[in-house]
Chains A and B, each alone.
Chain A
Amino acid sequence: MLEIKCPYCGKRSQNEFSYGGDATIKRPQLGEEISTEDWDNFVYYRDNPRGKHSELWHHVSGCRQWFKVSRDTATHEIFDTCKMNEDFNV
């Protein structure tokens, strides 16, 4: 079980959180003209990297905040976590 540092609450066990996918995906602007391919890339296509991955987690059984986690998908090492409006330090 991972130990994740919520930027608002501190270190908590994984079972308080839910995973929210790739944090680098940007939703297209509302009303933006967008090709089907670009839209499909946004909705469906995700990289599946081995190693460092920037991802979203949601502190569902805690402060209810979404935040960013930089994690190694192979070793589960967590390099850093930060608020949505912040950048990772490492």
Chain B
Amino acid sequence: MSNNFRTTNSNGLINKDKKINFTFNGTIYHGYEGDTLASALIANGVHLVGRSFKYHRPRGFLGVGVEEPNAMVQLHDGNKSEPNIIATEVELVEGLKAKSQNCWPSVQFDIGEINNVLNRFFPAGFYYKTFMWPKSFWMKIYEPFIRKAAGMGKAPLLPDPDRYEHNYEHCDVLVVGSGPSGLASALAAAKNGARVILAEDKPNFGGSLLTDEVTIGNMSGKEWASDTISQLKSMPNVILKKRSQVFGYYDHNMTVMIERVSDHIENPSKYTPRQRLHYIRAGEVIVSTGSIERPISFGNNDRPGIVLASAAKEYMKVYETLVGKKPIIFTNNDTAYSTALEFIKNDIEPIIVDTRDSSNGELVKEVQQKGISIKFNSGIADTKGHLKINSAIIGKLDSSKESFISEETVECDCICMSGGWTPTVHLSSQAGNKLKFNDDIDAFVPDKKRQKETAIGAANGSFTLNQSLAEGFQVGFDLSNKFTDQNNPTNSPNSNEPSYEKHEKLWCMPLPSGKKPKRFIDFQNDVAVSDVELAIREGFRSIEHVKRYTTLGMAGDQGKTSNLNGLQYVSKIEKKIVPEVGHTTFRPPYTPVTIGAIVGREVGNHYLPTRKSPIHTWHEENNAVFVAAGLWQRPRYYPRGSEDMNSAVNREAANVRKNVGICDVTTLGKIDIKGPDAPEFLNRVYTNAWLKLPVGKARYGVMLREDGMVFDDGTTSRLSENHFHMTTTTAQAANVLSHLEYYLQVVWPDLDVNVLSTTEQWSGIAVAGPKSRDLLSKLFPDVDMSNEGLPFMGLVDSSIDGIKARIYRISFSGELAYEVNVESNYGLYMWKKIMEVGQSFDIQPYGTEALSTLRIEMGHVAGAELDGRTIPFDVGLNSMVSQKKDFIGKRSLSKDAFTESDRQTIVGLVPLDKKTKIPEGSHIIEDNSAVAPIPKLGHVSSSCWSVEYNNPFSIAIIKDGKNKIGKNLYAVSPLKDISIPVEVVSSHYVDPEGSRVRS
């Protein structure tokens, strides 16, 4: 196989000196540098690339770029495997491996093709109608079958090894598309001093100038494009991006662009990303995205070898490749004649079929002057050739153009069709532009804009070069003037291009006599003319409904080549004009974007930031098992030897009850509160009284939301008259700060108070257990640690080795306990110091599991009880609620539902067998043998193994809890299918008098 379909000229953009080897379905081929996978395959005579979605019909290339609906392949294998890649968008690179998809066992012989023979059983809505009953069949039989039959490519099962990056850009003017209008506007805007980004999807700038025979000034179009690009390249205010698709237009002129950075490079360096996602916030966006050629519907118009005329031309002019050597040009307009002329240049005489009665366009005349006769008033009725087209049936149209008068069979190896041009309005539409129908070009164009977006050139329906350039220069200058004061316009050069006559409004050929071949509209989703007819016959009227019923325009290509032909056909059957039918909505992304690019570098450990305490390394060195607490990594327990979690946790918790434990509580939220109104502010924020808290004392506080639910709790201490140190739970730290700022800035701006997060500035170390006093007395010999010297809820400042420490006498474990706070940088030092001194007191570190055990035993509430559904009464905090003053959320507490005496309240539970652990989340019920639905009394919020009593203990919140103490109930967990008889006890299971903390 060696490139039999290359042209002999070398005016294109491939480098025939550099061969590139690749494989397709296991066969080795070669192409050249600058080829796409599509152009290289076509050059090797390969047109059959895949099977269609529904009927498994053989399919080849229709287009040459993003519009391609058929030629989807699976690239690479293993963890680099990628499905549904459009072959026209893949640049050839040494060693590239591609294979067909949606076929089995091979693309030449595909079992699924039986669907094509049975196609009368697969009309529009087939799946909806057939697979409805019985319902139970859906999941097990129908759905897997449809999935298999409809399977496109295969998603890789391994993690993506490639690197993707994100970039944020700002510019004054973003120009999307580098055809004549795009280049003109970028040049005008840049010369006027604006910061410009010019984005081009293809590997080469220039758009239609790369293929059209035009002159601009004294240069060819292609030369002018390259000259303009060099000018732009030399300007510091311009960023040029090729291989870059702007696929989404979001609010406030935020566009997103995907750049293919390294797929086309044979050996990219290690840290080069594969793709880069650019978020571009642009002052103004110029949409110069050009237009896409429309196909024509005729019998069997989907065979490999049937391409768009513009694609055939681009393959010849850019890729030096012939789509065939016996071409038929089939058109309803003049532009396809430039493709005919290109064939003639390559010594190939095309057959030309034109639906129109005549045309006096310049290109038509040029073709005629070369002695080529044109079959006017004719159309293609049908085609033949199983895996590749080999002949066409050309028919003479009658005067109504509704049927053929006569038919003849003509041999061919390709058909290059043109149904005119559709402006690429996707981005404008995404930006909220209400499109309008332009009757001259029979297509929708942008109209009333909602954002700062301006379509120009072909995307705006301006199909002549003169008009495109004029719009480009004018709009580029006008828009850039909003950002600069240079007022420096650039004049549009003279240009020259052939004149074109009007197209004919005919996009669907009559059926050949006596036959009913499928005439496809949407190639990717296998939607034919007959499917649209059926949908209308069955009563679907809205174009959105026709779209969903037939799946027209719903495939990965988003109907780039099919939408308008579908609309046109609906309007013809309905005898309505197209704008009355309306159009479906365009949504991002314009072209498929790989998930890896969207995720970028936020994968694995980078998914979220990780917060570590300054003592983290010590925990690591001492065998801690970590657990995520929000973003924080906290030691969960420290196993010794072969200990499992339960034994480690029980050992750690028991050691706190017996000796002394040390726990890293750095993660607690800390907020510094200063100002003359600070006491008054705390008095409003917390449910209890704060005005009279003495300096040097701490107090436990509970705060509510306005709806009365407990929001957070913590200990806050008064450091001086107007200076407080608040602590919050780890989980709510950020929310509490926002809450305080809200009340200070929005509700009570008259209060003179400042709040500031100091979570990261302090490292906190809890030292808990009966031996904690002796330990700290030894560590801080200058401090009077006696119960009188530092009573419960007291605090004192001290220092060791010149390091300032603040010692609070507070307790979460219910034991005699202290919390030592030092500046973060000294956290590790202080921890080690306490461990060192603590050796003689049998100190052990304890993690979050033991921390939980200790607080659950004591009946101290935490996040599981303060779950946003409990008021202070429910969780035993009623004594914290001041009756004398108002505070945030207080009024809610007097609402009827909140004052009912049998509300669900906090209790303790002990299993009757003293052995079975009660799963958290279990339901509490009274009668185990009752018939469902069984009334639920409440739920289990927290469970632990009580180290004090050596049996399981749980906290539950149950209806009329206080009056249920002493009763036997059942804790049931339907998920685990267990039912545990339990006794209700006080939630204060250990030391209910609270004597230990005050000892």
Do A and B assemble together?
Answer: yes
Contact B252–A76 (Cβ < 8 Å): yes
Contact A60–B746 (Cβ < 8 Å): no
- The smallest beta-carbon distance between B706 and chain A, in angstroms, is 5
Q: Which residues of A contact B737 (CB under 8 A)?
A: 64
Distance, CA A78 to CA B251, complexed state (A): 11
B696 within 8 A of A: no
Contact A2–B252 (Cβ < 8 Å): yes
Q: Which residues of B contact A85 (CB under 8 A)?
A: 749
Least CB separation from B251: chain A residue: A76
Contact A43–B707 (Cβ < 8 Å): yes
Q: How many residues of B contact A (CB 8 A)?
A: 28
Contact A66–B742 (Cβ < 8 Å): yes
Least CB separation from A76: chain B residue: B251
Distance, CA A37 to CA B684, complexed state (A): 22
Distance, CA A75 to CA B998, complexed state (A): 61
B936 within 8 A of A: no
Contact A18–B886 (Cβ < 8 Å): no
Contact B251–A2 (Cβ < 8 Å): yes
Distance, CA A36 to CA B707, complexed state (A): 12
Query: With A39-B891, A42-B706, A75-B450 in contact, do A1 and B745 touch (Cβ < 8 Å)?
Result: no
Distance, CA A20 to CA B742, complexed state (A): 9
Contact of B745 among A34, A44, A65 (CB under 8 A): A65
- The smallest beta-carbon distance between A1 and chain B, in angstroms, is 5
- Binary interface encoding of chain B residues 712-744 relative to chain A, with 1 for a CB under 8 A from any of its CBs, else 0: 000000000000000000000010011001100
- Binary interface encoding of chain A residues 72-83 relative to chain B, with 1 for a CB under 8 A from any of its CBs, else 0: 000110100000
A10 within 8 A of B: no
B432 within 8 A of A: yes
Contact of B746 among A18, A36, A66, A76 (CB under 8 A): A66
Contact of A1 among B254, B684, B891, B895 (CB under 8 A): B254
A1-33 at interface with B (beta carbon < 8 Å)? 1-3, 13, 18, 20, 27-28, 30-31
- The smallest beta-carbon distance between B669 and chain A, in angstroms, is 15
Contact of B250 among A1, A39, A65 (CB under 8 A): A1
Distance, CA A18 to CA B737, complexed state (A): 13
Query: With A28-B891, A42-B706 in contact, do A66 and B252 touch (Cβ < 8 Å)?
Result: no
- The smallest beta-carbon distance between B171 and chain A, in angstroms, is 14
A69 within 8 A of B: no
Distance, CA A78 to CA B887, complexed state (A): 35
A52 within 8 A of B: no
Contact of A3 among B281, B450, B684, B895 (CB under 8 A): B281
Q: Which residues of B contact A18 (CB under 8 A)?
A: 738
Q: Which residues of A contact B746 (CB under 8 A)?
A: 20, 56, 66, 84
- The smallest beta-carbon distance between B694 and chain A, in angstroms, is 24
B23 within 8 A of A: no
Least CB separation from B707: chain A residue: A43
B892 within 8 A of A: yes
Contact B749–A64 (Cβ < 8 Å): no
Q: Which residues of B contact A64 (CB under 8 A)?
A: 737, 741
Contact A39–B252 (Cβ < 8 Å): no
Contact of A58 among B168, B432, B741, B896 (CB under 8 A): B741
Q: Which residues of A contact B141 (CB under 8 A)?
A: none
Q: Which residues of B contact A3 (CB under 8 A)?
A: 252-254, 281
Report the tally of A-B residue pairs with Cβ distances under 8 A: 58
B975 within 8 A of A: no
- Binary interface encoding of chain B residues 280-305 relative to chain A, with 1 for a CB under 8 A from any of its CBs, else 0: 01000000000000000000000000
Query: With A3-B254, A13-B281, A76-B251 in contact, do A58 and B895 touch (Cβ < 8 Å)?
Result: no
Distance, CA A12 to CA B749, complexed state (A): 25
Q: Which residues of A contact B892 (CB under 8 A)?
A: 39, 43
Distance, CA A42 to CA B742, complexed state (A): 16
Contact of B251 among A1, A39, A60 (CB under 8 A): A1
Q: Which residues of B contact A13 (CB under 8 A)?
A: 168, 254, 281
Query: With A13-B281, A39-B892 in contact, do A84 and B745 touch (Cβ < 8 Å)?
Result: yes
B139 within 8 A of A: no
B930 within 8 A of A: no
Contact of A60 among B250, B252, B738 (CB under 8 A): B738
Distance, CA A85 to CA B744, complexed state (A): 12
Q: Would you call the interface of chain A mostly helix, strand, loop, or mixed?
A: loop
- Binary interface encoding of chain A residues 39-78 relative to chain B, with 1 for a CB under 8 A from any of its CBs, else 0: 1001110000000000010101000111000000001101
- The smallest beta-carbon distance between A32 and chain B, in angstroms, is 8
Contact A1–B252 (Cβ < 8 Å): yes
Distance, CA A78 to CA B451, complexed state (A): 12
Distance, CA A7 to CA B684, complexed state (A): 28
Q: Which residues of B contact A78 (CB under 8 A)?
A: 252
Distance, CA A20 to CA B707, complexed state (A): 16
Q: Which residues of B contact A58 (CB under 8 A)?
A: 738, 741-742
- The smallest beta-carbon distance between B896 and chain A, in angstroms, is 8
Least CB separation from B895: chain A residue: A36
Distance, CA A84 to CA B741, complexed state (A): 12
Contact B432–A75 (Cβ < 8 Å): yes
- The smallest beta-carbon distance between A80 and chain B, in angstroms, is 14
Q: Which residues of A contact B281 (CB under 8 A)?
A: 3, 13
Contact of A66 among B279, B432, B741, B891 (CB under 8 A): B741
Q: Which residues of A contact B707 (CB under 8 A)?
A: 43-44
Q: Which residues of B contact A65 (CB under 8 A)?
A: 741, 745
Q: Which residues of B contact A28 (CB under 8 A)?
A: 891
Distance, CA A90 to CA B540, complexed state (A): 45
B747 within 8 A of A: yes
Distance, CA A20 to CA B745, complexed state (A): 12
Q: Which residues of B contact A60 (CB under 8 A)?
A: 734, 738
Least CB separation from B168: chain A residue: A13
- The smallest beta-carbon distance between B435 and chain A, in angstroms, is 17
Q: Which residues of B contact A1 (CB under 8 A)?
A: 250-252, 254, 279
Distance, CA A20 to CA B684, complexed state (A): 20
- The smallest beta-carbon distance between A87 and chain B, in angstroms, is 15
Q: Which residues of B contact A2 (CB under 8 A)?
A: 251-252
Least CB separation from B252: chain A residue: A3
Contact A30–B684 (Cβ < 8 Å): yes
Q: Which residues of B contact A30 (CB under 8 A)?
A: 684, 886-887
Contact B891–A34 (Cβ < 8 Å): yes
- Binary interface encoding of chain B residues 892-903 relative to chain A, with 1 for a CB under 8 A from any of its CBs, else 0: 100110000000
Distance, CA A27 to CA B432, complexed state (A): 37
- Binary interface encoding of chain B residues 245-267 relative to chain A, with 1 for a CB under 8 A from any of its CBs, else 0: 00000111110000000000000
Q: Which residues of B contact A27 (CB under 8 A)?
A: 706, 747
Scoring A64, A65, A78 by chain B CB atoms within 10 A of each residue's CB, the highest score goes to A64
- The smallest beta-carbon distance between B83 and chain A, in angstroms, is 29
Least CB separation from A36: chain B residue: B895
Scoring A30, A56, A84 by chain B CB atoms within 10 A of each residue's CB, the highest score goes to A30
Contact of A31 among B745, B747, B886 (CB under 8 A): B886
Distance, CA A64 to CA B712, complexed state (A): 20
- The smallest beta-carbon distance between A66 and chain B, in angstroms, is 4
- The smallest beta-carbon distance between B43 and chain A, in angstroms, is 44
- The smallest beta-carbon distance between B879 and chain A, in angstroms, is 22
Contact A66–B745 (Cβ < 8 Å): yes
Q: Which residues of A contact B168 (CB under 8 A)?
A: 13
Q: Which residues of B contact A43 (CB under 8 A)?
A: 706-707, 892
Sampled A-B contacts (18; CB under 8 Å)? A1-B251, A3-B252, A20-B746, A27-B706, A27-B747, A30-B684, A31-B886, A36-B895, A39-B895, A42-B706, A58-B738, A60-B738, A66-B741, A75-B450, A76-B252, A84-B745, A84-B749, A85-B749
**A-side interface residues toward B, CB under 8 Å?**
1-3, 13, 18, 20, 27-28, 30-31, 34, 36, 39, 42-44, 56, 58, 60, 64-66, 75-76, 78, 84-85
Known: A28-B891, A60-B738, A66-B746. 10 other contacts (CB 8 A): A1-B250, A1-B279, A2-B251, A13-B254, A13-B281, A36-B896, A39-B895, A43-B892, A58-B742, A75-B432
**B-side interface residues toward A, CB under 8 Å?**
168, 250-254, 279, 281, 432, 450, 684, 706-707, 734, 737-738, 741-742, 745-747, 749, 886-887, 891-892, 895-896
Ranked nearest first, the 3 interchain pairs of A and B with the lowest CB-CB distance are A3-B252, A30-B886, A66-B745
